[in-house]
A and B are shown apart, each in its own frame.
Chain A
Amino acid sequence: MFVTAAIAAEAASEGEKVFPPFDSSTFASQLFWLAITFGFFYWFIAKVISPRIGEILETRQDRIAGDLDMARDLQEKADEAHAAYEQELAQARTTAGEIGQKARDKAKAEAEAERQKVEAELATKLEEAESRIASIREKAMAEVGSIATDTTAQIVDQLIGTSVTKAELTKAVGAARG
């Protein structure tokens, strides 16, 4: 190398040692030991270190990916369980509504039946009462004829002082009553 030679010459002329990095007498030794040490180091990295650390990192990556998958599965299951719960809840709500409606309907029907029964009873009682009133009235009306006959007999007796026969009286009263 030109530069090396120039510096070496300069150094030599001053009677000093060559600037060490440009001292070509050490090159062979440095290259030789560099080849040995770096050669070993390269071999060691390629055969031992690189596969080992690569494997560690891969294992970790796989594990993380696996864990994430598992978490996703569990999440899905949880979602499903939640959905099933919701559905069941909704169903229970519907059932409860139905049961309530049925109970309400039944109660209503019973009340209605009770009411009808009572009404029917009242109606029969009313009828009975009416028929009794009618019979009483009839009886009274029937008696009205005899009372009128008696009363008429007395009035006629008082007024004109004659007694009229019962048959005539009855005929006259019946004619008057229509």
Chain B
Amino acid sequence: MANDPIKQFEITRIVPLENVAGLDLSFTNSSLFMVASVAAASAFLYFGSANRGLVPSRLQSMAELSYEFVASMLRDAAGTQGMRFFPFVFSLFMFVLFANMFGMFPYFFTVTSHIIVTFALAMLVIGTVVVYGFMKHGLKFLGLFVPEGVPGYLVPLVVLIEIISFLSRPISLSVRLFANMLAGHITLKVFAGFVVSLGALGAAGVAGAILPLIMVVAITALEFLVAFLQAYVFAVLTCMYLNDALHPSH
């Protein structure tokens, strides 16, 4: 089926490496767009900062803007101490942003539309929080689950809720990004499919196709917003979780 809205998420092998220590590590279209996102983001930031101009050029001010955007986000959420995680948050934000934006090109693969990718990134964040939290605060890090000022008899219940909410963080963080990208691209594809199907029905069909066409244009604009917004949300939540690792007491 030519306009199967799911086809765009299929992974195809480009360089098959089907049995490396029993694992299929083929270089796929997904890998290609990971490489492309990283290459584009790296090139943008590298050439943007190459001139080190006191008065920035356009490219340089865009690179500076991204830097300061993430830096202020992290500083607001986690304080000056949080700045040690700046490279981590910055690379996460830029990676997700570029992957999302690459996904907006027709025929391009959206890396972040696969749950395993977003889940891996989310686990990276939570793993960093847990490891750093225990390293920095030892067992005091567990104080994260015991909010202050809670009456004694409520503590077990609150701790249970806190633990569940903590465990659900990687899931909500990854599913939010994954589902937004997936749903957006499916919607686009479905409406675009309507345009093609109706257009094939002759003059009346072409006239009727105008409405879904307008929808496609509008949803494309919306999807650009979502692509940015989800990268932003991912980064903001990362900052907030990192703040827990830095300051575990509520």
Contact = CB atoms under 8 A, between A and B. Distances in A.
Interface of A: 17, 19-23, 25-35, 37-38, 40-42, 44-46, 48-50, 52-57, 59-60, 63
A59 B49 CA distance: 13
A143 B53 CA distance: 127
B37 A37 contact: yes
Contact of B24 (A28, A35, A50, A60): A28
Given A25-B24, A45-B90, A57 B114 contact: no
Contact of B87 (A27, A29, A46): A46
B46 A48 contact: yes
A56 to B, nearest CB: 5
A49 B26 CA distance: 30
A17 B4 CA distance: 12
Contacts of B63: 53
6 contacts: A21-B178, A26-B28, A41-B41, A49-B49, A50-B86, A60-B54
Contacts of A44: 42, 46, 91
Contact of A33 (B30, B46, B86, B88): B30
B45 A49 contact: yes
Contacts of A35: 120
A40 B31 contact: no
B27 interface: yes
B76 to A, nearest CB: 17
Given A21-B114, A26-B30, A38 B24 contact: no
Contacts of B116: 21, 26-27, 30-31
Contacts of A45: 45, 87, 90-91, 94
A5 B194 CA distance: 31
A22 B114 CA distance: 8
Consensus secondary structure, chain A interface: helix
**Which A-B residue pairs are the 7 nearest by beta carbons?**
A46-B87, A33-B31, A20-B9, A37-B34, A45-B91, A28-B23, A53-B67
Contacts of A63: 54
Consensus secondary structure, chain B interface: helix
A21, A44, A56, A59: most-surrounded residue (chain B CB, <10 A): A21
Contact of B45 (A22, A26, A32, A53): A53
Interface residues of B, number: 48
Interface in B46-65: 46, 48-49, 52-54, 56, 60, 63-64
Given A29-B24, A33-B31, A53 B178 contact: no
B95 A21 contact: no
B117 interface: yes
B64 A56 contact: yes
A74 B116 CA distance: 61
B38 A40 contact: yes
Contact of A38 (B67, B95, B178): B95
A37 B90 CA distance: 15
Nearest to B9: A20
B48, B94, B115: most-surrounded residue (chain A CB, <10 A): B115
A53 B64 contact: yes
Contact of B38 (A30, A37, A49): A37
A22 B119 CA distance: 12
A46 B178 CA distance: 26
B219 to A, nearest CB: 20
Interface string B56-82: 100010011001100000000000000
A29 B94 contact: no
Nearest to A31: B120
A147 B182 CA distance: 162
B52 A55 contact: yes
